[in-house]
Amino acid sequence: MAKCRFLYDNRWKAATTILTASTAEAYFPATNTQKRAPGRRWRSTTVVTDQTLTADLGADYATKPARAFSIRGNNFTAAAVVTIQATHEDEAGHWAAPDFEAVLSPVDNKMMGTFFDEQIFQFWRLLISDIDNPNVHVEAGPIFLGPYFEPAVNYKIGGTATPEDLSIITKAAGGQRTAVIHDQPGVWQYAFRTDEKASFETIRRAVGWSLPFWFCEDPDVPNATLYVVATAWEWEHLYLTTWTLTLSLAEEV
């Protein structure tokens, strides 16, 4: 089992990043992939031709290296061919033979992603070929593109996972129960013993208790990455530079 990874410094949603879609329905623009809610999605108007989402990271792209790409939520079929590409020029000739390319494994309406050696490019493109999609469109939720933090020591095996029901349940005087059914996100808890408190604190200051980020339990299974918000950062000092951290994460739905 590989060590976990934190994906929080998102170049895809940086203020200077410009997104362009091959096609987009009026209320489902490309910029929805920069929003936090998984239900906010970009949606194409067709699948007859390959569909693309292109990100221009701006003139300062050299300060924005990437080592991971992930999508939270999609409607791709199992037969879809989904590729992340990168190049130095946003021109057809360069996209025909991109400088970097990695194929992703589609997982319908779930997390999908990949890790790779550090890449530094101004232009990135998500390419989707899904001509037999029964919805006659493709769509994608929040996207991550950027680096990751991998702790020197992994979390302790044997964490906890607790389901949470956001439904509103009422009980009448006669005993009848009614409910407004909502999502049932998971809540995970991980324990770390670490000498890297400063690195973990950098993440905490970036995301706090409100901003969602990606947490990958095992990079060998990138599609199992979680899209979460932190609900608790509990530190206990052991000695010198060694601390224990109990980190609680709630699924963002």
**247 and 174 assigned to the same domain:** yes
**242 and 166 assigned to the same domain:** yes
43 in Cβ contact with 138 (< 8 Å): yes
The structural domain count of the chain equals 2
Backbone angles phi, psi at 133, to 5 degrees: -60, 120
Kindly give the confidence (pLDDT) of every residue in the chain, 253 residues in length, as a single tens digit, with 9 standing for 90 and above.
789 999 999 999 999 999 999 999 999 999 999 999 999 999 999 999 999 999 999 999 999 999 999 999 999 999 999 999 999 999 888 999 999 999 998 776 677 889 999 999 999 999 999 999 999 999 999 999 999 999 999 998 766 656 555 555 566 666 666 655 555 567 889 999 999 999 999 999 999 998 999 999 999 988 778 999 999 999 999 999 999 999 999 988 8
Domain final position from 94, 112, 146: 146
Domain final position from 105, 122, 146: 146
pLDDT in the model for residue 168: 59
152 part of a folded domain: no
pTM as predicted: 0.89
CA atoms of 122 and 57, how far apart (whole Å): 5
**85 and 182 assigned to the same domain:** no
pLDDT in the model for residue 178: 64
**194 and 237 assigned to the same domain:** yes
**106 and 223 assigned to the same domain:** no
**116 and 233 assigned to the same domain:** no
**142 and 171 assigned to the same domain:** no
Range of the domain at 196: 160-251
DSSP collapsed to 3 states, 97-112: CCCEEEEECCCCCCEE
91 part of a folded domain: yes
Contacts within 8 Å (CB) and 24+ apart, 164-170: 164/250, 166/253
pLDDT in the model for residue 95: 95
Residue type, 31: T
